[in-house]
Amino acid sequence: MSGATDATPAPLAAARAWLAQDPDEVTRAELAALIRDAEAGDAAAAADLHDRFGARLAFGTAGLRGRLGAGSNRMNRVLVAQAAAGFAAYLVEKAGSAGTDAPPTVVIGYDGRRNSDVFAQDSAELFAGAGLRAILLPRLLPTPVLAFAVRHLGADAGVMVTASHNPPDDNGYKVYLGGADEGSQIVSPADAEIAAHIDRVAAEASVADLPRGAYELADEAVIDAYVAATATVAPAPAGAAGMNWVYTAMHGVGYETLSAILRLAGYPLPVVVEQQIEPDGAFPTVAFPNPEEPGAMDLSFATAREAGAEFVLANDPDADRLAVAIPDPAAEGGWRRLTGNETGLLLGWRAAQRAADAGLVAPASLACSLVSSPGLETVAGHYGLDFHATLTGFKWISRAPGLVFGFEEALGYLVNPETVRDKDGVSAAVALLGMIAEAREQGRTLADLLDQFAVTFGFFQSGQVSLRVDDVSIIARIMAALRAAPPAEIGGVAVERFEDLLTGDEDASADVPPADVLRLRLADGSRVIVRPSGTEPKLKAYLDVRGDSADDAAARLAALDAGARALIAAAQA
């Protein structure tokens, strides 16, 4: 994950040193004005400099992610150049340790966010200058295309410049490894080893002095190969004919690639949300470009009502996530977005059925993050497959042994692990279209499939309580309070087991590495998991119940939600 670490230079001195090496005219002007005002005694400017230079965005297993702007605690060309040079040094070191003569190959992709193209080109030039073979994807593309390209090109590593569904002023830097890692995102200890190289570059070299070189531009054949592979996920059955549906790219990069796949696979093109279909890093129609956020899909629902659509699909801005919505007379506006768990369980059911049809049994497996619905384990058992619960993030899910399908409740799905070892909102959309089309052949809808799942496997419902903070120390205090005084009950139901995954005590799961996660198992089979977000200043509590009916599950979830909110409020006090 990205975060902040202490920086030793005084902010004003650090700012002057930063200014001297910054190649970006915009951030240079921004920083020069702050330095001038701070030197003149402006307290606000001095405080701003302290925020920008009193810490440094730390490189972790989610790479880098932060707000755009000048300074070591922001995303900018200096920070990205240091990251690229440090990552290059890591790859050269690894190649040397392996006795490999050929230079490592790195493929670089970028989305439509502000400065994504600039950060990507800088990285490609710096990788080439460090002696690596650098291949830049030819235009802005979805994150899954980059993840695919790492494997398809046999690259040693990949970099995707994106902040996914973060606010408009953010950007980020995701890192993948090839070879034995099969194009998955990095995990420990690679993150710490890369971070050490980045810190060394930042301490010893000026960005202006880092060598740059000529990079290659990837051929369109790479994108064509992704399109062809993804079209095979679910070629359109007869039931796709006449399908009336709505799609939004959420101002992101998904539609060009998805529409090519739809044509090849034989699906009718959707009615698109015109205001959101083209890439736009300003995200003008949404306050927060995340389909999970309230209001983010309002334009999709308005378009669906006008079109009389059967369902809505939405990708987030870099198209690695998928949101799904269906008509629901009980919902405000007549449309309801499915939870990530609902969609994940449907896609997991589809994957398990296909695995069974192919004669696969354990060790073939389904996997999900430990905060995702326990219903997937029930599906796996029903079809004789293994099940793995991992830490949050596809860097972990993608590494589950025997993986057939993986998901996490935050709208992430991995449906084709043979080609992409990361969440992929484009291939997930194709898989879901196939599922809906097959149901249409029998006169059924997506809502009918949800009902059938519940009857077959149980009435699972999930919820989430999220606390966003300005001061992240509040989150640490809440976690410490819960550890110091574990609750005896939540929502009137006794807590049977309190598991601290950070300490690895005897009640904690042995399936995952130590993590800042608390898992509480209740007497009625319900579950509450509390953890800090890995990418945002949030504390999250994940709630899961299983009822005897839909109404029973809803009642259990409502009581658990109220109890979890009271628990967090008490710990915060």
DSSP structure class, residue 339: P
C-beta separation of 108 from 127 below 8 A = yes
Which residue among the candidates 72, 123, 164, 372 is catalytic per the annotation?
164
Residue type, 314: A
**CB-neighbour burial class of residue 521 (10 A; exposed 0-12, middle 13-18, buried 19+):** middle
Distance of CA 375 to the CA centre of its chain: 21
* Catalytic-residue membership of 164: yes
Any residues with CB less than 8 A from the CB of 438 and at least 6 apart, and which?
237, 239
CA 265 – CA 63 distance, rounded (Å): 34
CA 344 – CA 325 distance, rounded (Å): 13
Taking Cα atoms as reference points, which of 361, 358, 383, 410 lies closest to residue 531? 410
C-beta separation of 363 from 387 below 8 A = no
Q: Count H helices, E strands: the chain? A: 17, 24
| Tally of residues, the chain | 573
Helix (H) or strand (E) holding 396: helix 394-397
DSSP structure class, residue 400: S
CA 44 – CA 50 distance, rounded (Å): 10
Taking Cα atoms as reference points, which of 333, 313, 332 lies closest to residue 321? 313
Q: Tokens at residue 22, please?
A: 């910054």
User: Which sequence positions are flagged as catalytic?
Assistant: 164
